[in-house]
Amino acid sequence: MLLSDRVLFLDGEALVIDKPAGLPVDAPRDGSLSLENHLDSLRFGFKRWPLAVHRLDRDTSGCLLLARNPKAHGRFTRAFEDREIDKQYLAIVDGVPDTDSGTIDLPLNKVSTAEDGWRMVGDPKGKPSISHWEKLAVMDGRSLLRFRPETGRTHQIRVHAREGLGFALVGDPVYGRGSTKTRTLLHAERLVVKRDVKPSIIAEAPFPDSFAALGFAAPEGAAPTRG
């Protein structure tokens, strides 16, 4: 797998790749492959390796922003912290919401038990977490949804789908009916980063094959399915 073949945007300070599902951004404890193993191939003439600005879950595919120098990394990191990044995700949920769109305002907190490990839960005392969503298509009792998260909490969309809508993401082993052998169907579809002088970074990742395999087609105006 060559990540250099999955570049969605590239200039002197930024790189956006279409991260494959199954590739962790951070190196796992078991020593298996992660984004770090591919960074050398993403230098594109620069001496430094690019640095990931944010995180996507191992299962989540799509737009991942990397900075090509430390100064840009600091600027992009602050933009994420200040909620200045426009993000769109596609998800398939196990069910059909009654309405066509809405906003989920559900603060999230981290809990941990010896039996189940850690997870995020809705908690009025948690960190503010807001997601806007719309229903795009329905197939065989499942729905294709588009999420526009305002905040970037860990597992935000996964928990908002389960607790806010009542339907977990298909394949989710923590919040849904998935297992270690299934993939959580979440895809970072679009990323827009506004910059002061340079043109905005705009990246769109192709519609995933795993979504198409369940009978869903790329939404109107979306990038086509990756071949």
Cβ-based neighbours of 187, under 8 Å, separated by 6 or more: 60, 61, 62, 89, 90, 91, 205, 207, 208, 211
- Does residue 171 contact residue 162 with C-beta atoms inside 8 Å? no
Q: Which residue has the tokens 């991260």?
A: 19
Closest CA to 131 of 65, 66, 186, 174: 186
Bridge partners of 65, per DSSP, are 16
For the question of residue 57 being annotated catalytic, the response is yes
Query: In terms of Cα–Cα distance, which of 178, 187, 182 is closest to 205?
Result: 187
Active site residue: 57, 59, 94, 172, which one?
Answer: 57
- 175 and 119 Cβ atoms separated by less than 8 Å: yes
Distance from C-alpha of 82 to C-alpha of 61, rounded to nearest angstrom? 24
Catalytic residues, by residue number, are 57
